[in-house]
Amino acid sequence: MDVGFIGLGVMGGPMALNVLKGGHSLTVFDLNPGAVKRLVDAGAKAAASPRDVGAASDIVVTMLPEPKHVEAVVLGEGGVASGLRPNGVVIDMSTIDPISSQRIAAGLKARGFHMVDSPVGKTSEHAVTGTLTLMVGGESEIIARVKPVLDCMGNETFLCGGQGMGHAMKTTNNLLATTIMTANTEALAIGVKAGLTLELMMDVMKTTMSNNAQLYVAMPKKAFKGDDSPGFMVKLACKDVRQAVELARAQGFEPLVGAACQKTLEEAIDKGFGDRDTAALMRIREDQLGIKVRETGVAAGRAA
């Protein structure tokens, strides 16, 4: 297929490369020239604008930070929809809220195009290996049409319902994952301050209902090593949680836990950690309590 890809960041870059490896013709666009060059060196074609990506493609994938970016790139002046081939499809794989997703899909439909939402789960490592989790929403016949492209990027696909339901699933997932991460850092820091060791807490918690993948999979890889190099950046986690909180409020519900998590992430951004990995939350807790969680404890493998 002739595929376009817009948004070649930490996740989008390797995802686009896997589309290319899947045998599809690929045209790419990103504001970062270095990201474009990496794909061009691998065999993709560079486009000068989102419109040009659309003109070269039957299917265009977007992987962008926020709803406003997706809307501008897809429906704005010089956007994908101004050049997309007849009956073309946009697959939005960004993490945006379902209401925005449905609005963008309606704008495409009014111009004779289609949209599938397919945000992704797992990490940048899985983006490289093409083993992401895909949460898909849209019309079944259009999903079937684009599935060969989706299969290049993920090995677990969940059909979540109609338009926007993939984004609803991703919003829900990220709210839970991030609140768990935030709670972990708070609990561990309190425990160390009280005199417990990380080793003891990990040994106990793996036998109780406190057990969670953030604690035994994600945090040993980064947070417990003091590594907050960019992966899932704090500013993006904050955006995702904010979207979930806003969605809840639109439904007439005040999400107290989500709101507290959002406030914690906003404080991390205010402290200058917005571009760092969410592992930075552990560092912030350590600084607040004057302790070092990672220095009291155990190598990652022992409790995993």
Domain range summary for the chain, segments of one domain joined by +: 2-163, 168-303
2-163, CATH topology level:
Rossmann fold (3.40.50)
pLDDT class of 298 with cuts at 50, 70, 90: very low
What is each CA distance from 217 to 11, 189, 279, 303, 304, in whole angstroms?
Answer: 19, 18, 12, 10, 7
pLDDT class of 160 with cuts at 50, 70, 90: very high
Q: What pTM was computed for the model?
A: 0.90
Contact 216, 303 (CB under 8 A): yes
Spatial CA neighbour of 157 closest among 204, 122, 196: 122
For residue 156, what are the contacts with CB-CB under 8 A and spacing of at least 6? 131, 132, 133, 134
For residue 300, pLDDT over 80 is answered with no
pLDDT class of 303 with cuts at 50, 70, 90: very low
Q: Across residues 48-63, what is the average pLDDT? A: 98
Structure tokens at 259: 């709101």
pLDDT of 302: 37
For residue 296, pLDDT over 60 is answered with no
Contact 114, 144 (CB under 8 A): no
Residue 5 bridge partners (DSSP)? 28, 61
For residue 186, pLDDT over 90 is answered with yes
Residue 92 bridge partners (DSSP)? 62, 117
170, 206, 225, 263: the active-site residue: 170
Euclidean distance between CA atoms 286 and 9, whole angstroms: 30
Structure tokens at 224: 């417990």
Is 170 catalytic? The answer is yes
Calculate the average pLDDT of the chain. 95
Spatial CA neighbour of 198 closest among 180, 178, 176, 216: 216
pLDDT of 9: 94
Spatial CA neighbour of 219 closest among 289, 167, 278: 278
pLDDT class of 295 with cuts at 50, 70, 90: low
Q: Across residues 293-298, what is the average pLDDT? A: 61
For residue 168, pLDDT over 60 is answered with yes
Euclidean distance between CA atoms 278 and 260, whole angstroms: 15
Euclidean distance between CA atoms 273 and 282, whole angstroms: 11
pLDDT class of 294 with cuts at 50, 70, 90: confident
For residue 148, pLDDT over 50 is answered with yes
Sign of CA dihedral 157, 221, 21, 26: positive
Q: CA dihedral defined by 279, 280, 282, 283, rounded to 10 degrees?
A: 140
168-303, CATH topology level:
N-(1-d-carboxylethyl)-l-norvaline Dehydrogenase; domain 2 (1.10.1040)
Euclidean distance between CA atoms 240 and 171, whole angstroms: 7
Euclidean distance between CA atoms 212 and 139, whole angstroms: 34
For the chain, percent of residues with pLDDT exceeding 90? 95
For residue 299, pLDDT over 90 is answered with no
What is each CA distance from 243 to 83, 173, 250, 270, in whole angstroms?
Answer: 30, 12, 10, 19
Do 2-163 and 168-303 share a fold? no
Residue 182 bridge partners (DSSP)? none
Burial 38-71 (b: 16+ CB within 10 A, else e): bbeeeebbebebbbbbbbbbbbbbbbbbbbebbb
Q: Across residues 267-278, what is the average pLDDT? A: 96
For residue 42, pLDDT over 90 is answered with yes
* Angle in degrees, 0-180, between the axes of helices 256-270 and 234-250, rounded to the nearest 10: 150
pLDDT tens-digit readout, 102-146? 999 999 999 999 999 999 999 899 999 999 999 999 999 999 999
